Amino acid sequence: MSERWLNDYGDQLYAHAKSRLNNEEEILDVLQDTFVAALESVSRFRGDSSELTWLLGILRHKIFDVYRKRARKNTFTAEAVNVYEEFKEQDRYNVAIVDRAPGPDKIAENRELYFAIMNCIGKLPQMQTDAFTMRELDNLTTKDICNILSISTTNLNVILYRARINLQKCLHEKGINDVD
């Protein structure tokens, strides 16, 4: 059974995990956990959705478990320190204004932008990566993300704000200044 899943859906499941986790070991673990969980619960799978959707649903939760474990390891009250200081430090606005003229490489393809953004997401501090991924890639509600990461709404909003500021800065460093 799991061999067929691996053959039929392995690539799609891998692509999903890869877009959300940054190392191969973690990806291997969540994929293995997914297949194990799927085998255990296959008798309850009633075919309301396609097999792939069902497997992706299990995989999603396995990935959230990884985020949950990471968040427990990090004591990350440190994330909530004065945002204003960081804001000043980064000097984002000076950068943005100097570069008002469009860059030489105009980003035409969304795909290219997608890869650039994903690359930058991977470079954020772990908590920002995980929070941003759940928010924007997985569309989780604020409440769910706060539960998984054991943080307050206020804390989450600060983390997401920082993630966005950092992402823009990272893209800027890649020479991408205008996203229209």
Q: Work out whether 165 is an interface residue with another protein (CB under 8 A).
A: yes
| Polymer length in residues for the chain | 180
- Which residue among 28, 69, 81, 103 contacts another protein (CB under 8 A)? 28
Per CB under 8 A, does 81 bind another protein? no
Per rule CB under 8 A, is residue 134 in the interface with another protein? no
Q: Is 49 in the site for another protein (CB under 8 A)?
A: no
Buried b (16+ CB within 10 A) or exposed e, 119-158: ebbeebbebbbbbbbbbeeeebeeeebbebbebeeebbeb
Question: Which two three-digit tokens encode residue 105?
Answer: 């490489």
Asked if residue 37 lies in contact with residue 59, where contact means CB atoms within 8 angstroms, the answer is: no
List interacting residues with another protein (CB under 8 A): 2-3, 6, 10-16, 18-19, 24, 27-28, 31-32, 35, 83-84, 87, 92-93, 96-97, 100, 110-111, 113-114, 117-118, 121, 135-137, 139, 142, 154, 156-158, 160-161, 164-165, 167-168, 171, 177-180
